[in-house]
Amino acid sequence: DDIRSAIQTLELRLAVELEAVALAAQRRTPEAIADITSAYDRLTALAEPDAEREAQADLDFHLAIARATNNMHFPQFLEAVGRDISFDLRMKHAQPLQNHDAYLKKIAREHFSILSAIMQGDPKAARAAMRRHLEESLVRYRRLVGANNAKS
């Protein structure tokens, strides 16, 4: 089931990305900040709904954070599970049109909180922002699984 797979991917991402974002905040360099900021700008600059491009920009943001750890295994890991992450992101970005703008604004705020914490060199705030960002999706997917189970 696609939703269950997305939940499992998010659980794995929580385990890895919470540490990655904390390390990125501790080890940030001007180049890493520029890379993360550029990915954030690409995500927020998309004018027309396009789930594929939005998902790629979202993944690029998370990969930029992984690179900012200065530990090659973090980006390698995200790239290795990139297909599953991309599937999850495309599902999230393929919102019904009436909800799409609100969803994009929400994710822009969440990503900005993560970016700000990294820029400030605050690993605790970075972890908290990433946790909120990823757990929001987990909650939504778990509700969908519950609703689907109730229907069957």
Cα separation, 124 vs 117, whole angstroms: 8
Token pair for 90: 């495309």
CB 115 within 8 A of CB 36: yes
**Residue 94: φ, ψ to 5°:** -90, 50
Cα separation, 78 vs 66, whole angstroms: 8
**Residue 71: φ, ψ to 5°:** -125, 110
**Residue 122: φ, ψ to 5°:** -110, 95
Q: DSSP alpha helices (H): ranges in 50-96?
A: 51-68, 73-80, 82-93
Domain ranges of the chain: 2-151
pLDDT at 149: 63
pTM over 0.85: yes
Q: How would you class 117 by CB atoms within 10 Å of its CB: exposed for 0-12, middle for 13-18, buried for 19 or more?
A: buried
How many CB atoms lie under 10 A from the CB of residue 147?
A: 10
CB 86 within 8 A of CB 55: yes
- pLDDT (tens, 9 = 90+) of the chain, 152 residues, equals 678 888 888 899 999 999 999 999 999 999 999 999 999 999 999 867 777 888 889 899 999 999 999 999 999 999 988 777 766 666 665 656 567 778 788 889 999 999 999 999 999 999 999 999 999 888 877 876 775 666 55
Q: Which CATH architecture has domain 2-151?
A: Up-down Bundle (1.20)
Cα separation, 28 vs 24, whole angstroms: 5
pLDDT at 150: 60
